[in-house]
Amino acid sequence: MGTVKVAILGQGRSGRDIHASSLAQMPGKYEIVALVDEDPQRRDRAAREYGCDTYSSYQALLPRQDIDLVVNALPSALHVPVSMEFLRAGFNVLSEKPVARYTSQVDALIDAARTAGKMLAVFQQSRFSPAFVKLREVIQSGVLGRIVQASIAYNGFARRWDWQTLRSMNGGNLLNTGPHPVDQALQLFGTDVMPNVFCRMDSANSYGDAEDYVKLVLYGEGRPNVDVEISSCSTYPLFTYHIQGTKGGLMGNTSHLSWRFFKPEESASHELITAPLANADGTPAYCQEQLRWYEESWDIPEDMGRNLFLTMTLSYYDMLYETLTNGTPLVVTLPEVRQQIAVMEACFRQNERFSYTPISSGH
């Protein structure tokens, strides 16, 4: 396989503005050969922009033998049944997030891919955010010490009234935005064990019945507490990341990170004192010391920062190309995605008001 021939299902904000527009910038690696959308105007525009075949129904693609990858960018409630249909028909599938609402659905999709001998991947491009990549590099260097807490905030102020505010359509902040910070949170917590989950949700500014505020905490023995906020009620979204460690901390957003730390070898060693502390004159003393702090920072390279979505998407598709052409393992693995959905299931169980069965939950 040289150039990967792609069919994209859906020409909405994801199918067109993320997938099609990005793939069109990767000639030699990808070629868009087919697009599906119910809207005739969208089909006409896609035919002009990409010179590809267009269809009003995805079923028309099933007999084709020249498609290497199907991108499922249909509305969220259609991710499971349509991806399942294409896997069973012998296609490699890239599903938009959320891949599913339930872990049982993820298991069914994994089984279908295994039976067909085809690839199933999930579009979690935020794993490739340059800031998150740098954040993990700083943590792994050890300069911050043991990580006690990691906070991730995907916050802003927004009032929505589209289908993504409907529970029946797998809408709401947790399933719509949540896959990105939850995926990152699990990378920081560790994906080798299932975390304990605490979650509270609310519906404040949305016109639908799904949640638009999520407070989620992952915790476990010997692991950092990982705090995730996904709020549509924040008028002061001050940071995206805040890391607290035993030697220092980090704070920043997707374009700038700052971290400060001390070096234990340069600081005094102490022994526990149980008697009251006193100054030389006998007056009460406060336990304190002067540490020498080191500060460093990172700014996203200008070429990456101009279009962050494009940067992350191209990185994801570069990774996927290696998987499809050379058999390189996926960076965002299916077990990791399954764990993400398991965390979300736990959130919904703790917030029964927002728990529901979507329109199409196909297995």
Inter-CA distances, 15 with 10, 69, 238, 295, 340, Å: 5, 14, 30, 41, 23
Distance CA 232, CA 159 (A): 7
* Total length of the chain: 363
pLDDT at residue 238, as a whole number: 86
> Residue 145: is its pLDDT beyond 70?
yes
Digit-coded pLDDT (tens) for 177-209: 899 999 999 999 999 999 999 999 999 888 888
**Terminal alpha carbon distance of the chain:** 31
Chain position carrying tokens 């498609």: 67
Find the helix or strand (DSSP H, E) in which 74 lies. Answer: none
- Chain Cα centroid distance, residue 180: 2
> Residue 303: is its pLDDT beyond 80?
yes
> Residue 256: is its pLDDT beyond 90?
yes
pTM above 0.85, yes or no: yes
pLDDT at residue 208, as a whole number: 84
SS3 145: coil
pLDDT at residue 356, as a whole number: 65
Q: Which CATH class is domain 4-124+310-331?
A: alpha beta
Distance CA 355, CA 332 (A): 27
Digit-coded pLDDT (tens) for 315-342: 999 999 999 999 999 999 999 999 999 9
Distance CA 152, CA 131 (A): 12
Distance CA 15, CA 305 (A): 22
Residue 110 pLDDT class (50, 70, 90 cuts): very high
pLDDT at residue 63, as a whole number: 94
pLDDT at residue 362, as a whole number: 41
> Residue 363: is its pLDDT beyond 60?
no
> Residue 360: is its pLDDT beyond 60?
no
How many other C-beta atoms can be found within 10 angstroms of the C-beta atom of residue 297? 11
Cβ proximity of 187 and 343 under 8 Å: no
pLDDT at residue 68, as a whole number: 98
Query: Beta strands 93-95 and 69-72: pairing type?
Result: parallel
Residue 257 pLDDT class (50, 70, 90 cuts): very high
- Chain Cα centroid distance, residue 4: 24
pLDDT at residue 240, as a whole number: 95
Digit-coded pLDDT (tens) for 3-60: 999 999 999 989 999 999 999 999 999 999 999 999 999 999 999 999 999 999 999 9
**Average per-residue pLDDT for the chain:** 93
pLDDT at residue 355, as a whole number: 75
Chain position carrying tokens 């990341």: 241
Inter-CA distances, 222 with 183, 205, 227, 248, 340, Å: 20, 37, 16, 18, 20
Backbone angles phi, psi at 357, to 5 degrees: -110, 120
Cβ proximity of 202 and 174 under 8 Å: no
Cβ proximity of 138 and 259 under 8 Å: yes
Distance CA 251, CA 316 (A): 25
Residue 250 pLDDT class (50, 70, 90 cuts): very high
The fraction of the chain above a pLDDT of 90, given in percent, is 80
Please name the amino acid found at residue 252: G
Question: Mean per-residue pLDDT for 303-311?
Answer: 90
Nearest-CA neighbor of 340 among 99, 81, 83? 99
Distance CA 206, CA 202 (A): 10
pLDDT at residue 357, as a whole number: 56
Burial (CB < 10 A; 0-12, 13-18, 19+), residue 40, is exposed
> Residue 221: is its pLDDT beyond 80?
yes
Q: Give the domain ranges of the chain.
A: 4-124+310-331
pLDDT at residue 119, as a whole number: 98
